Structure 1
Amino acid sequence: MYLKHLTVGDFRSYPTAELPLAPGVTTLVGLNGHGKTNLVEAVGYLATLASHRVSTDAPLVRHGADKAVVRGLVVRDERETLIELEITPGRANRARLGRSPVARPRDVLGSLRTVLFAPEDLALVKGDPSERRRFLDDLLVARQPRWAGVRSDYDKVLKQRGALLKSAQPVLRRGGSRRRPPDAESVEDARASALHTLDIWNAQLAAVGSSLLYARLRLLHDLVPYLSAAYDEVSAGRAGAHAAYKSSVREELAAKIAAGEVPTQQELHDELLASFDQVRDQEFERGVTLVGPHRDDMVLTLGELPAKGYASHGESWSFALGLRLAAYQLLRHDLGTDPVLILDDVFAELDVGRRERLAALVADGEQVLITAAVEADVPTSLADTGRTFDVTMGEVSLRA
């Protein structure tokens, strides 16, 4: 799989830009702020419908423009597929696949697969649990695009359940409405109604939540061997990188999950329902859902110590890089083809030894896109085997 051509219009700093691509290594060289990362960000957006730099679409549209357009021509098994995305802040985005409109933008997911490593990925090791949950869920979608719909369904049910918990607080915390003195019978009726509605949302959240949780656990089970090998190779033999799942369910099953056990989806479903019952009073007190995949984490360890707070800066970089390389190798195995590998301003953050080891690991990728502010940062073993584009104030030119 590789991207043959990229076109952007009113995307970030570009009124328009064309980038012809080919298999092998392509390096984009330009000073910071000149637009090289914007181009690989557009490639990543084609594959994931999200940016690795911002959480909303508005910054992706060039200042003064109403919308942005990103097009990519993807080649897989000698067949070409055109993906077109129209990004319109405040409105629903639109998408075309092979020049035909699709019902939902997420219907294009799977047409292009990418693995992108960038300086922001240091947050996978040092950041909040949300960064690691996103890593797992994005990899799930890259592996099987249908998980985008499951994740969306989970978020919708979670939002509705949270709204119920907040709206029921006046009855369940204070024993009556704020507007009138409590009446024992009406309060009891209101409480019974809230609890009945909560049971309905519990059932829905357990159904979709157990599906998502099971998929994450299976994914991590498959990913860990690749992580261990990738960290070992990047860090020159310093083995010991491991990842475990930290679940918000009750302690007994959470301990088994942390030890690497993958319960059945039915077991997870039943456990989520039991966990909801256990924390019900706390949830009504706080007005939030305290159990479920949205409260979970992936715990990263080096040897016996957690990577967060104990790993050095170099070790943290190696761990983050190990996670991305593990994802790359897993997708390679699953798909039978290479995803597009994007290394965005990565080599500048690595010492010489790690640069060379990374170069050796990715040199055989079907397509590798690299950005660098300084060409000397890119190992010659990569730079000399592919094409180089110069990016200067939004102008992109192929170096002779």
Structure 2
Amino acid sequence: MRTKVAIIGAGPAGLFLAHLLARAGIDAVVLERRTRDYVEGRVRAGVLEQGTVALMAELGLDARLRAEGLVHTGTNLAYDGEVFRVDMAALTGGSAVTVYGQQEVMRDLFDAAEPRGVRIVFEAEDVRPEDFGGSSPSVSYVAGGVAQRLSCDFIAACDGFHGVGRAAMPADVLKVYERVYPFGWLGILADVPPVNHELIYANHERGFALASMRSESRSRYYVQVGLDERIDDWPDDRFWDEIATRLGPEAAAGLVRGPSFEKSIAPLRSFVAEPMRVGRLFLAGDAAHIVPPTGAKGMNLAVSDVAMLADALRRHYGDRDDSGLDGYSARALARVWKAERFSWWFTGLTHRFPDMDPFARRMQVAELAYIRGSQAAQTVIAENYVGLPLT
């Protein structure tokens, strides 16, 4: 089998890229080692930047988003039991974010794939990008127990942090930058109304907490926990007591408790691999970078990556212009590092670190107090949170 672009991975990066290429008339095949149900069912991000929302509209994938998404024009920070709001729309000329779960985004992408001619091979095993250093790359894989080879012009590795794409790059070329945080997020989903109509990020002496939601009747809550914690250590009653304490009496006044139906602990890390291109192999999304979820940047960064890559491929095939492909890595990384900076900074501002002494804690509180009283500081948060433009 032959195609122009072989896409490894049918997560957000891979499927957004496939839809963008289909719109441009560029043939592509997506190889995914899991089933659709598995990929679609993964509980992931839920805050879409304005650029991601705009791209879904451009692709005609926003019908359910417009009907079900929750538009947030602000966000809230809590410390020492008090809450203040950052008015993102007022500070950024009307920009906002939309709460719409990654599961819903994936459903929209999958539902539209077949009608638009987006080809996806599910349960593709032993996927291997090959010969990408030359002019005739290919991807070998096994489907239905039969060895296959997909010849192509380019390979886009959108296969996540543990995928084969980055692992195939020469070790003497790839540079990795990483910080692993000494805590994780314990998250729950519960069919109860959210405590606030917008998100609340809380800094408490016992640790970070986040009040979020997936809809007006489904809430998503997180508390910072140690890496040695187990889910079994956190029955629902203990979780609800802890989230109420960390949010503080003002924010927790409207807390509605109920049984959780999903509970998990996620570690936090900052990670960047450079470059994002070697030969005819390109990295996008989590294959190239990971951000702590504090800044709500993970899926949005994947979308910005593939928007750049799709534009570069369109110029290659349509205009015989390779400048976009040649500049893809530098262009993408410029935006990646800005998002990494914001997520790292926001994590440091809101979390309790094991080695934090009283001075460091007071500095956190002082910075939050400064942000509360400074329009300039709030503008920095607002413009990063709604999403920086492509560079």
Tell me whether the two structures share a fold, i.e. TM-score over 0.5: no
TM-score range, shorter chain: under 0.3
> Which structure shows the higher helix fraction?
1
> Which structure shows the higher strand fraction?
2
* TM-score w.r.t. length of structure 1: 0.19
